[in-house]
Chain A
């Protein structure tokens, strides 16, 4: 991983979280607005992992996450001249990737009925007659169990609307505050709390057998 890339475990939307980076960001944004692609490239390097992670958590698909992160940065470049610096660059790009991802999920949900698909879970590549032990420290049984759990979580997520999925990921995984989520998705705090209520209920109902034995 690139040395200048921030840790992706717990992204913060608050501007004070990464004050030094924000100051640098400000200069990079200014240069980007003047058409300096190298400066924008540096911003991409700084935030690509976080933006990719956000898209991945929402879609649970590496290829989709890659494409959505690309789209988000491309949209950011096109509209960088409109960025006024009222928030940090990360808050701004986070908002863009949220919207891009929500739009993408909406389109997909309108287009297909979700069905169980091995390819989504990465189970396709496993030969049932295989005798070789997969890499890693976990046992084969454990690996398969983890993948099955991943499939169950993915299926549960796919039954949520794009909006419910977004608030669930932002709250439960990204650890954002209500007002930060509201800012990112562009709605009232009350709406965020209401969406979170239903998203949690649906997820808990679908995964109860798994997390009760966890």
Chain B
């Protein structure tokens, strides 16, 4: 009885008792959610266009951030470093297409999935080798990203909002809007949607699959770079980031692997759910439940609605 009270009643009472804390937690959740969404976005882009589930998306985030900071450490000015990093991400996309996607073009999806494991570990080793494994500080100031926080008086108390988080939300929205316009309006965007629909049909109208793949992986690389900058600005650049990238998987389950709005909604739900869960229910269980809470939510979803909120139903035909 006491246990039931603790689980089902007490946390809500706590929420009501200190609404400013609730708002703070919600905000933190949303911010984390935005970043999860961005990572999930990269996955969705690649999956939509090439059917590959790119496990390495998370490490690409770290790799991009590391490249940026590493270049800067070697004396390259901030915005030049940014341009160079973008070029590096393009080369990465090109290399992946040539060395991994093309040779494995007709293999079952699970093989491609496992190949991205290999890519992940390779990038981890490579990144650490070139840039060193210590934690680095994101060059937020040099990129003109804001610092400091705003204190809002609301909900009976104070809510502290980091300016960088606001910037992250704005940049993420711009990115999503940009991608949406890109997909809907431009020629290449149309080609990407065609490829996502059917590889064979796209080939038959003369769309080069290889070019599309390079473009898509490059786009995912840009998304990764943006995510890396934002995340690094909040909490430094280290390889722990790729564990955070593993969080994107529950987001994708929730939102559906093929849906961009799903990635966003899923990310926000997971982000908020996780933070609320950790803050209000965590102390009951021993804290640190963030490490698995998202996965359990995803698991429950999987059992009832495997295609996620927005995804397409998978029908098996004989």
Check if A and B associate: no
